[in-house]
Amino acid sequence: MFNKNEAAEKAHLAFVLAELRRAWEETDERVKKAYQSVMTAKQYVVEQSSEMDGMEFAANQYDISFAIDLGERVVIKRNRLAKMIASPYFGRVDFRDAGATEADVWYIGLYGFEGPDGNELICDWRSPVAGLFYDYDIGKAVYSAPAGDVEGEVVRKRQFKIHNGAMEYMIESGVAIRDEVLQKELSVKSNDKMKSIVSTIQKEQNAIIRNESAPVLIIQGVAGSGKTSVALHRVAYLLYKYRGTLESKHIRILSPNRVFADYIANVLPELGEEHIPETSMEELAAAELGDKFQFQTFHEQVAELTAYEDPSLIERIRYKSTATFVEELDSFLRQGDDEWFFPRTITIGRDAVPEAAVAEGYEKVSRLLPVKRRLEKLASFLISNTRDVNGNKWNSSAAAKIKTAVRSMYKYKDALSMYKAFYQQKGRQNLFELKPNRTLEYSDVFPLIYIKMHLEGVKTQEDVKHVLVDEMQDYTPVQFAVLSRWFPCKKTILGDGFQTVNPYASCTLEDFRRIFPKAHIVELTKSYRSTFEILQFAQTIVPNARIEPLERHGDTPSVVECRDERDQLEMIRRVVAEWLGSGDQTLGIVCKTADMAERVYRNLEDLSEHVCLLDFQSETFPAGIAVTTAHLAKGLEFDGVIVPFANAYQSELDRHLLYVACTRAMHRLVVTYVGSPSPFLLGSSEPV
């Protein structure tokens, strides 16, 4: 079918919709039948259960759950068809194979759909041919099909906005995903959750989504460049491409906190995929350390620094935040392999295992094994290869004594004493401090786990085949080293060095190159979230010459001086009251500290039921007005943002927090302060 104009496209849309409705009706019938068969089977069990033996009962239960599974799948299909009836496709690309006279026409949508004759009426956005839509303008093009590369020419591209089954607009497009459509999408008010971007994925984003070769893909992208969106679309793409071997349960998302996890939770279901299990570094660390240790969380560390930038705390954090630190740990552990095992003769009554046999056995055991496993192997080796004075094999009590003796020959019994020894050896005991109640500082949690892995081995998560790590700038090299051992699978790691909430503990690109020498590193420099004016304002706080703002204009951010705190809180109330009538969905009031957020919240809570305080105990990202901290707001976005107490941002750490706060705004930004504003708002590059 070859449509030349809007009328023809409308006719084509009517045809596709009729096919979709027919498919929906068929599927609806199947849902009804599936429901009926489950009910009949259940009724049969209820009525006949007294007559059934155990086997028969179990067989019937199995049949019921099988019928339910089947029914659920048909319901999913019906829901998908309903979505397609509302918006079946968003793009069209006409591609003429090299040597062919006529072009094939492909319509691209969220899901694929075949007509009754097996014709592909809509292609899934992840299909090979759909790549043409994102990657090429009119002219020569190539796409990778399962049978190999297909060369040819894109002869036409169109973009559509179809809403509730009606075509809102159609754009004849020569340029890959025209700015016009993108602008329309970006100027839409946010809702409370992140949404999919399938219809306007940009070429450089598509390359990341479809990258299948990178064992580790590192995405360094400026604020609002779509890193999180792209990474989630990449997951959906991989699930599509490797269907049958890769399922959502094989993927893990490492989220910085629960609110963020909730914020992104809708994207994959919207793309037709199941929810992906999420976890966090703290959750993984707690599972590894069990109840032996308490530890400070990342947000507690940042809160501690935000309250007072203790130079000795900063020194401790900084020291443990480089790739060199991991290398030093490695060489300490390697050195220990030679120096911490003290062989001696094992005496068992009149019998003995000579020191030389113990030393020889230790040399034979592989150094690649964790220490505890090595000692077990050594003990087994000695038990099998040595004899008592009569030449007899060791009995079980002697064997147990050999095991205990071998264990006692190793200098360190636990990871903590080994870790402390690391600092002693360097003469830098000041770099390790336990908090009250034997609580570890956050910067010690992962070095300690790294050493524990050397001592006890790694609990590898073999079932996980791909890990997605967001906000990479907040992880240190030793965290990545630990993460790679837990998850020795492919990884997508994304973040922005400019948005670190703890500049003393983050990873540089150079660190990444050292930790993941085979990683592909890609950069996203176009920023989509904020208006040109907001981005320009944020650039005075943390200048980044690589940011390319989009030409989407809005109000200039306002910086409002207030007489005192009372005046400032009143000012915020006025802005919020005005916002309540604006039709915007989300407003973020992003403060430097939790205490400031609490004060603002108390002053607003009577204003509307839609005001809520977001803290590290919060589980969900709400629509309405969220009062929170910059640390927690990381990764989120709001139609409008108010940044109160802008006088409080003074240090280097504060500069990054202020930048994060301001770059959360899509359309509007208001900054308030009392006294003198932060030096960073004046474009000063130096903290005072």
Catalog residues that contact ligand ATP under the rule CB under 6 A.
182, 185-186, 197, 200-202, 205, 221, 223-229, 496, 499, 528-529, 635, 637, 663
Quick one: three-class SS letters along 547-597? CEECCCCCCCCEEEEECCHHHHHHHHHHHHHHHHCCCCCEEEEEECCHHHH
Residue 224 is labelled as binding a ligand: yes
Tell me the closest approach of the beta carbon of residue 196 to ligand ATP, in angstroms: 8
The residue with tokens 């200048």 is 543
Nearer to ligand ATP, 499 or 586 (CB): 499
Q: Which is nearer to ligand ATP, 159 or 228 (CB)?
A: 228
Nearer to ligand ATP, 24 or 528 (CB): 528
**Shortest reach from residue 528's CB to ligand ATP, in Å:** 4
Q: What single letter denotes the amino acid at residue 251?
A: I
In this complex, which beta carbon is closest to ligand ATP, that of residue 228 or of residue 647?
Answer: 228
Q: Which is nearer to ligand ATP, 181 or 455 (CB)?
A: 181
* Least separation in angstroms between CB 380 and ligand ATP: 51
* Helix, coil or strand: residue 341: strand
Question: Least separation, in Å, of the C-beta of 471 and ligand ATP?
Answer: 8
**Are 9 and 105 within 8 A, CB to CB?**
no
CB closer to ligand ATP, 229 vs 443? 229
CA distance 568 to 562: 5
Name the residue whose CB lies closest to ligand ATP: 226
Query: Torsions phi, psi of 522, nearest 5?
Result: -125, 155
Three-state secondary-structure class, residue 333: helix
Between CA 157 and CA 551 the distance in angstroms is 23
Residues in the chain: 688
User: Phi/psi at 627 (nearest 5 deg)?
Assistant: -100, 125
Show the tokens assigned to 593.
């500290």
Q: Is residue 112 annotated as involved in ligand binding?
A: no
Contact between 227 and 219 (Cβ < 8 Å): yes
Using CA atoms, how far apart are residues 327 and 477, in angstroms rounded to an integer?
Answer: 10
Q: Considering beta carbons, is residue 288 or 637 the nearer one to ligand ATP?
A: 637
Nearest approach in angstroms of CB 569 to ligand ATP is 28
CB of 526 to ligand ATP, least distance (A): 8
Is residue 221 a known part of a binding site?
Answer: yes
Which of residues 90 and 362 has its CB atom nearest to ligand ATP in the complex? 90
Q: What is the largest CA-CA distance in the chain?
A: 102
CB of 323 to ligand ATP, least distance (A): 23
Q: By three-state DSSP, how is residue 300 classified? A: helix
Q: Was 65 annotated as part of a binding site?
A: no
Helices (H), 102-246: 130-135, 179-187, 203-209, 227-241
391 is in an annotated binding site: no
Round to whole Å and give the CA distance between 159 and 169: 8
403 is in an annotated binding site: no
Token pair, residue 278, equals 């999420």
- Of 208, 13, 26, 163, give the one whose Cα is nearest residue 92: 13
What minimum distance in Å lies between the beta carbon of 221 and ligand ATP? 5
Instruction: Point out the annotated binding site.
Output: 221-228
Instruction: Point out the annotated binding site for ATP.
Output: 221-228
